[in-house]
Amino acid sequence: MNTFKDLGLNDDLLQAITDLGFTKPSEVQEKAIPILLNSETDLVALAQTGTGKTAAFGFPMLQKIDVDSRTTQGLILSPTRELCLQITNEMKLYGKYCKGLNVVAVYGGSSITDQAREIKRGAQIIVATPGRMKDMINRRLVDISKIQYSVLDEADEMLNMGFKEDITDILSHTPEDKNTWLFSATMPREVATIAKKFMYDPEEITVGKKNESTSNVSHEYYLVNARDRYQALKRLSDANPDIFSVIFCRTKRDTQKVAENLIEDGYSAGALHGDLSQNQRDLVMKSFRNQQIQMLVATDVAARGIDVDDITHVINYQLPDEIETYTHRSGRTGRAGKTGVSMVIVSKSEVRKIKSIERIINQQFEKKEIPDGSEICEVQLMSLANKIHNTEINHEIDKHLASINELFADTDKDELIKKFFSVEFTRFYNYYQKSKDLNVAESSSDREGGRDFSRGGKDSTRYFINVGGKDGFDWMKLKDFLKEQLGLGRDDVFKVETKDSFSFFNTENELKEKVLAHFTDFKHEGRFVNVEVSENRGGGGRRDRKGGGKRRDDKRGGGGRRDDRKSGSGNRSDRRKSEGSSKPRRSNSSDFASSRPRRSRR
Ligand code: ADP
Ligand code: MG
């Protein structure tokens, strides 16, 4: 086995490597570093996330550039600002003994003039996101005409995110004879095309099998009713007291909501999505890195490439739209040789996607049951017992011992232990005492055709609209119509149900005024279309109402009751009674992120 020294790295770098505590090179480093150090060549390297790619290109680049010159010699392109900052930090750490080194991060959402000023001071290496880099070039704030080494990091993700044109444009401003090093976890055709277009006879290295996801991640799925998703999430968390996880949602709105609910329910959680300010995102990421936040709820885009070690679980609160994205999600755990679990909460309508994912990751899922209350109580109790057992005694207590002893003079050890544990345990016990079984038996019937019935309840408004099947609408057409009319996004209209001559749909409460205003005196193809608020919020379950469709079609929407009360079975208020609002509150529930004491690392 080679050491870093054997690979040909110089003393400045070796010293930094020792400081970082890297003892031996990873496979991709062992393969890439000698090639890049010893020849002027292009390179295509395929390796999963977490295999140490940053150092694989970072060390050689640092060794090859001239730190005495202020010319920009190296350009690293990466898909997101988070990754860009991460790489910049790593490069600074690797190069901390390279005197005069200046690595500058260039990314959107932060002052472009500040970044330009930093570059002017003499940046030998720029780490950039494609969008901002292109901006900088167009505004002539940066000169990359003397680049010798360019890196395309996470090339597959950059292309996924639609950066192909930006990359092409940026590279056209760099010299022909530079070397390009492309790093990617997978090799889809677009990456191969880019490689062909920009590279000259590249060396190729592959670590592990192509397109195979990290095998120290195990995959599990849990089948629940869509409306029980959130309860299931809480149980999975409660059953894993030391969880340190990323929870993926499909939309920004769901991400925000799940995070808010978790925080409200006393979990240490935070949200990461594109609607937050840079500052908020940085804070959340910092708390997460420090493990002050146990559960980071994120969208796919915002979480791209997040490199935080020790993530124990990835939880797919909802499956991604594109099943390929699953690989990127699950790759957030099981990093740096550790094991991890990727969990998927699925409803019946999505369960068939599991099969397709299995084919992509070339690994089997295990179907598991959402733990019941007694299991969770046991886990929590034992976790508490272990924590107490391993706690270091704080001798500040000594001086109060006399009075405490006095209070417990008549309590024997058994009783004392029971009392002591009850302080924490009763909270979980009471909460889960009334809990129900969330698991759903798997069967192929009762498919919901991919519709999302998971939302609803007090935060959403259900509407009646006096058009339906007779008017040529099925639920998809009606959803499209409403989105277009109201100028809304894909997830803003949900639970669309069409009957023969009328239909129902939901939006979040905050859209109520807009919806009602839009459909006041509204005519579509010559007839009045009327929308009114329905009394029922629409739940899961069977939606066929007896005699549905027989209703009189009133052009102004009058006549008849406008609730579909009888059809919904999953009424939110019923559920709340059993396991909704009376959650087991953590003792320090309100002070989630920053003020929470740092968790001990596993
Ligand atoms: P990738 O880009 O392949 O996803 P990173 O370069 O982000 O992986 O590295 C993943 C983690 O492994 C980082 O925390 C990094 O500091 C660490 N790491 C990299 N190389 C080594 C090594 N040789 N020994 C130990 N840890 C390493
Ligand atoms: Mg990386």
Ligand 1 proximity of 429 Cβ (cutoff 6 Å): no
122 alpha carbon to ligand 2 midpoint, in Å? 25
Q: What is the DSSP string of 279-305?
A: HHHHHHHHHHHTTS-SEEEE-HHHHTT
Ligand 1 proximity of 336 Cβ (cutoff 6 Å): yes
User: Is 298's pLDDT higher than 60?
Assistant: yes
Ligand 1 proximity of 52 Cβ (cutoff 6 Å): yes
CB 342 within 8 A of CB 333: yes
Give the pLDDT of residue 471.
Answer: 87
Nearest CA to ligand 1 atom 20: 52
Section 7-11 average pLDDT:
95
Ligand 1 proximity of 49 Cβ (cutoff 6 Å): yes
For residue 43, give the DSSP letter.
Answer: E
For residue 224, give the DSSP letter.
Answer: B
Lowest mean pLDDT among 187-191, 200-204, 253-257, 538-542: 538-542
Q: What's the pLDDT band for 4 if we cut at 50, 70, 90?
A: very high
3-state DSSP assignment of residue 555: coil
User: Is 581's pLDDT higher than 70?
Assistant: no
pTM of the model: 0.49
3-state DSSP assignment of residue 341: strand
| Domains of the chain from N-terminus onward | 5-206 (3.40.50.300), 214-449 (3.40.50.300), 452-570 (3.30.70.330)
- Residue-wise pLDDT for 303-339, tens only, equals 876 778 889 999 999 998 887 789 889 888 887 667 8
Section 272-301 average pLDDT:
91
Ligand with minimal distance to 332 CA: 1
For residue 151, give the DSSP letter.
Answer: E
Nearest ligand 1 atom to the CA of 153 is: 2
Q: What is the DSSP string of 444-497?
A: SS---TT---S--GGGEEEEEES--GGGT--HHHHHHHHHHHHT--TTTSEEEE
Nearest ligand 1 atom to the CA of 20 is: 16
29 alpha carbon to ligand 1 midpoint, in Å? 10
Section 241-263 average pLDDT:
93
Tell me which of 216, 307, 338 to substitute to probe ligand 1's pocket, judged by most ligand atoms within 8 Å of the beta carbon.
307
- Residue-wise pLDDT for 71-114, tens only, equals 999 999 999 888 899 999 999 999 999 999 999 999 998 899 99
Ligand 1 proximity of 54 Cβ (cutoff 6 Å): yes
CB 63 within 8 A of CB 13: yes
Nearest ligand 1 atom to the CA of 56 is: 6
Q: Of 154, 152, 127, 153, which Cα lies nearest the Cα of 142?
A: 127
249 alpha carbon to ligand 2 midpoint, in Å? 23
User: Is 293's pLDDT higher than 50?
Assistant: yes
267-286 exposure pattern, b = at least 16 Cβ within 10 A, e = fewer: bbbbbbbeebeeeebebbbe
Nearest CA to ligand 1 atom 14: 309
Nearest ligand 1 atom to the CA of 90 is: 16
Instruction: Report the alpha-carbon distance of residue 23 to residue 32 in Å, rounded.
Output: 17
**Single-letter amino acid code for the residue at 201:** D
Ligand with minimal distance to 328 CA: 1
Ligand 1 proximity of 26 Cβ (cutoff 6 Å): yes
88 alpha carbon to ligand 1 midpoint, in Å? 14
User: Is 446's pLDDT higher than 90?
Assistant: no
Mean pLDDT of the chain: 82
Ligand 1 proximity of 235 Cβ (cutoff 6 Å): no
Ligand 1 proximity of 25 Cβ (cutoff 6 Å): yes
Nearest ligand 1 atom to the CA of 49 is: 4
